[in-house]
Amino acid sequence: MAWIPWHSVVSLETGPICQRTAPCAVADSSKGHPRPYHTAVLTFFKLALSAAFATAIGASSYAQSLEPATADARRASQGVTVINGYSQHWWKEAVVYQIYPRSFQDSNGDGIGDLNGITSRLDYLKNLGVDVIWLSPHFDSPNADNGYDIRDYRKVMTEFGTMGDFDRMLAGIKKRHMRLIIDLVVNHTSDEHKWFEESRKSRTNPYRDYYIWRDGKPNPNAPNGFDPPNNYNSFFSGSAWQWDETTRQFYLHLFAVKQPDLNWENPKVRQEVYSLMRFWLDKGVDGFRMDVIPLISKTPGLPDLTPGQDAVKLWANGPRRDEFLQEMNREVLSKYDDMSVGEAIGIDLPGTHSLVGEDRHELSQIFNFDATRIGSIGGYIYRPLHLPELKAVYTAHATILGKQDWDTSFLGNHDMSRVVSRWGDTSTPELRAMSAKLLQTMVLTLRGTAYLYQGDELGMTNYPWTKISEFNDIEVQNRFKTEVAQGKLTEQQLISGAAAYGRDNARTPMQWDITKNAGFSTGNHTWEPVNPNYLQINAADQVKDPDSIYHYTQKMIALRRSDLAFIYGDYQDLDPKHEQVFLYTRSLGASSYLVILNFSSQPIDYTLPQGIQAKNLKLGNYRDSSDLAGATTLHLRPREARIYKN
């Protein structure tokens, strides 16, 4: 969601770990469900491949679990390979690349990216080393919130193409031995969805209870004679309640007015959701990224918020949330070889296990935003990055999350400003490139499934916004109508804040080459403006340049894939208080890596702690190392990143 401002068949071919070890569901085209012999065949191949792979890499030497032996034995008896106490799954080993379809590639000149455009660029992603593509919403939508307001879950948005285009894209992804996950937006729908159109017709309509309707509080001075049922505010400013004159009640919308919240207390709603999930899984998609999924269970009675109460935590921890997700897992997710990742707003780190623990049977993983929100004061106001604070987040994750849990590693998505502009140095082309490579190094060596956002492999930057009219984001527009109009912000303060941290920065068109509109579209207008720096930052130039960010990311992905230490290995921060250098290890059995990141734009002479030596340099973002193997003091250059095998 956008509120934060802030089954391929089993193959014995050689390929990435996550593709070699993960058989997928084989669907019966006549029924669209797993074939009767699916379970037996899947189990046989999975056991055979897991045993062969474990022998090849010596996985038994890594199975030093910190969990009770009985837990490992139980999972082994179920045909699951256990490495360092973690169950082995393809989605843990994957590198996921998020595509925001409106901004990736336009194939027909209308200025809007589409599915055929994505299909035309699949070789680019395959060559980069991507395992999984995450496709942001592609469903039919009136686009009040750029596709997160869904009108029809079984139809492709007209601007993006047709279902035939989707099927060709999916076939192209599978042909290249990649996988696809799609967004699942089921906390709310569009107010143009047929369910809501029926729901608002009358209080006795069969679809009435698909949504959350309430009487207002009588107030003769209110425009309609009633105040909203409670004091909830929308994420997008203003009341979270909208008056509907036809039935003279309010409906709840935690997001935009055109995004009414579904009533998950109604079992018919839940079955509708499970049905549409099966529809896409039976087509062959490999899972879902679940938009604001913790919000599906509302507090009984919907009481007013008390002064100082954290609304997001309240909404994200409803009493039936886990019951609903366990039902979803039991009825849908557990039937497929899929992955699920939840956008876990309102979930703190100790609460993560409830959603992702293997014993919980809910989701595969969640996005926790503790790291990316560092420095947030509120709205678009942020403090500069304080590196020890960032390190503390990752140490907390490594300490609090157990072997039954799984993490995610990411620094960008469609709801954030460009990471190189946020945490890097873009003052010179050289520092921007080194900053981007350093940040990619961090994402791809930290614990958890790695997620990259489109354009970050090129070091794309924020756009130079100067006017409110340039912004497309509903959040910016609503803040202008409310906070600026009410005198809480000046127009220039809003522009400056949104320019630095707004979501539109991630949504400007992908910069492919130096032709018109950066090769994104042949049209005369693009839905978001093209960053004028496309002449200097574009994919065509970087694919030809062996020293580019693109090629560095490619090498980094290959290094990550080459050793399971980067996946299942332990993490240790070796110098947590240093304010410029991030030094940590990833270790699995006899395999250990030392990662050194200089977050400063100045050179630093850095003495390794604890008598550590930097031994075998595996990869760095400068062409050569300034230090000999075995050095204990390193001469780090600005924004330098190095990975040693020790």
Give catalytic residues, as residue numbers. Answer: 291, 343
**Identity of residue 48:** A
Dig out the tokens for 406 from the structure. Answer: 């799984």
Give buried/exposed letters for 451-488 (b at 16+ CB in 10 A, else e): bbbbbbbbbbbbbebeebebbbbbbbbbbbeebbeeee
Token output for 553: 């990311």
d(CA 136, CA 267): 27
Rounded to an integer, what distance in angstroms lies between the CA atom of residue 209 and that of residue 196?
10
Contact (CB, 8 A) for 91 and 181: no
Q: What is the dihedral of CA 395, 457, 166, 271, to 10 degrees?
A: 10
Class of residue 580 by CB neighbours under 10 A (exposed 0-12, middle 13-18, buried 19+): middle
CA distance 425 to 501: 15
* Distance, CA of 34 to chain centre: 28
Residue 523's φ and ψ, nearest 5 degrees, are -75, 175
Strands (E), 420-520: 449-453
Q: Which residue intervals of 139-183 are DSSP H helices?
A: 163-175
Considering only CA atoms, which of 10, 277, 269, 332 is closest in space to residue 139? 277
CA 498 to chain centroid: 21
Instruction: Decide: 9 and 34 in contact? Cβ < 8 Å.
Output: no
- Closest to 118 in 3D by CA, of 96, 103, 131, 140: 103
Q: What are residue 341's DSSP bridge partners?
A: 289, 365
Q: Could you tell me which of 102, 103, 99, 106 has the C-alpha nearest to residue 523?
A: 106
Backbone angles phi, psi at 99, to 5 degrees: -110, 125
Residue 516 CA to its chain's centroid (Å)? 30
Interatomic CA distance for residues 325 and 193, integer angstroms = 23
Gyration radius of the chain over CA positions = 25
